[in-house]
Structure 1
C-alpha cells in the first residue's frame, strides 16, 4: 500500500459542490473516489505549472 498524505483545505462552496457532483457521476459512491479525483486534479495542475515554467 502506498503512503498517503493528508491536506486539510478550505475551498469555495460552489466549487466543492460541483466537484463532488462530478466525482460521484464519474466514480459513483465508492470509498476513496474524492481522493482519487483530487489526486488526478493536482497532477494535472502540477503538469500545467511545470510546463509554464519552461
Structure 2
C-alpha cells in the first residue's frame, strides 16, 4: 500500500488503484474462461497478438 500511495503522490491521485476498486457486481458481461489456455501464464507463444 505504501508503494501505491507513493506512486499516486508522484503521478497524481488515482493514477493507480486497487484492482477491486470500481468492480460492479451486476455487470452484463463475463469472462469466457473456456476460451483461455490452461497454460495462460506460462506459454508466451499462446498470448493473443494482433496482426497489423
Tell whether the structures are fold-level matches, with TM greater than 0.5: no
Q: TM-score, normalised by structure 1?
A: 0.23
Structure (1 or 2) with the greater helix fraction: 1
Higher relative contact order (CA 8 A, sep 6+): 1
